[in-house]
Amino acid sequence: MWHLLPKEVESLWTLFTAPVVWAAHFLFCYLAAAVYCEKGFFGAGFDTLRLTIGLVTMAALAMIVLAAFLAWRQWGFGTGDPPHDDPSRRDRLLFQGYATLLLSGLSFVAVIFTALPALFLTGCLR
């Protein structure tokens, strides 16, 4: 049967999904601003940069929310309480889900932090 979302991912790497999205978003903001402020972008105004950063931020937040949802599901939607320290596959999965959910929260906040300058600054200012 086909699923929109994978049923269960048995991997250590899912833990890093949200922080990787943060890193990609951060890198994009930094590089876009650096190139724009040095080289310009086909005569586009600064607001275009701000708008682009805004759109990329929305996309990044959406991806983090998706990662958080998957993690929340892996965590059984909060039915089991931490500390998840039983020597069982189930508790290992719950732990992974919970840790991933926490990391998604942190990444969500960090992405907003990173995007704030584009909200407030109206020029490269150097």
Catalog residues that contact other proteins under the rule CB under 8 A.
10-12, 15-16, 19-20, 22-23, 26, 29-30, 33-35, 37-39, 82-85, 87, 89, 91-92, 94-96, 98-99, 102-103, 106-107, 109-110, 113-114, 116-118, 120-121, 123-126
Which CB atom, from 15 or from 61, has the smaller least distance to other proteins? Answer: 15
Give the nearest distance from C-beta 59 to other proteins in angstroms. Answer: 17
Give the nearest distance from C-beta 126 to other proteins in angstroms. Answer: 5
Give the nearest distance from C-beta 96 to other proteins in angstroms. Answer: 7
Give the nearest distance from C-beta 2 to other proteins in angstroms. Answer: 26
Contact (CB, 8 A) for 25 and 56: yes
Which CB atom, from 4 or from 122, has the smaller least distance to other proteins? Answer: 122
Instruction: Give the per-residue SS3 of the chain.
Output: CCCCCCCCCCCCHHHHHHHHHHHHHHHHHHHHHHHHHHHCCCCCCHHHHHHHHHHHHHHHHHHHHHHHHHHHHHCHHHCCCCCCCCCCHHHHHHHHHHHHHHHHHHHHHHHHHHHHHHHHCCCCCC
